Amino acid sequence: MKINIDGYAAEITDSLGKAGYEAYVVGGCVRDSVMGRTPEDWDVTTSAKPEEVIAVFGEKNTVATGLRHGTVTVIKGGKPYEVTTFRRDGEYSDFRHPEKVEFVSDLAEDLKRRDFTVNALAYSEKTGLIDLYGGLADIESKTLRAVGDPEERFNEDALRILRAARFSSVLGFGIESGTSAAMSKLCDNLKKVSAERVFTEICKLVRGKNATAALMDCHDAIFAVIPELAPCYKFEQKSKWHRYDVYEHIARAVGCAEGGLEVKLAMLLHDVGKPECFFVKDGEGHFYGHGEKSYEKARKILRRLKASNALFYETTLLVRLHDRPIKNDERKIKRLLSEIGDETFLRLVAVKRADGLAQGTEIALEEVKGLKDIEKTYRLIKERGDCYTLSSLAVNGSDLAALGYRGEAIGKELSRLLSLVIDGAVENDRERLIKISSKRI
pLDDT digits (tens, 9 = 90+) for 10-34: 999 999 999 999 999 999 999 999 9
Checking DSSP bridges between strand 143-144 and strand 128-131, what pairing results, if any?
unpaired
User: Considering the entire predicted model, what is its pTM?
Assistant: 0.91
Structural domain boundaries in the chain: 1-141, 142-221, 226-386, 390-438
Per CATH, 1-141 and 226-386 having the same topology is answered: no
pLDDT band at 99 (very low <50, low <70, confident <90, very high): low
Per-residue CA distances from 435 to 81, 386, 422, 429, 439 (Å): 66, 21, 18, 10, 7
**The domain 1-141 is classified under which CATH number: 3.30.460.10, 3.90.25.10, 3.40.1350.10, 3.40.50.1820?**
3.30.460.10
Separation CA 214–CA 233 (nearest Å): 14
User: In 3D, which of 216, 148, 227 has the Cα closest to residue 187?
Assistant: 227
Q: Is residue 408 scored above 80 in pLDDT?
A: yes
pLDDT value of residue 198: 97
Q: Which helix (H) or strand (E) holds 216?
A: helix 211-217
Q: What is the fold of 142-221? A: Hydrophobic Seed Protein (1.10.110)
Quick: pLDDT tens for 392-405: 999 999 999 999 99
- Number of helices followed by number of strands (H, E) in the chain: 22, 13
Q: For 285, list phi and psi in degrees, rounded to 5.
A: -75, 140
- Average pLDDT for 52-77: 92
Please determine, for residue 243, whether its predicted confidence score (pLDDT) is greater than 80: yes
Q: One-letter amino acid identity for 271?
A: D
**Pairing label, strands 79-85, 43-46:** parallel
* Check whether domain 226-386 has CATH 2.40.50, yes or no: no
On average, the pLDDT of the chain sits at 95
pLDDT tens readout for residues 254-307: 999 999 999 999 999 999 999 999 998 888 888 999 999 999 999 999 999 999
Q: What is the mean pLDDT of residues 367-382?
A: 96
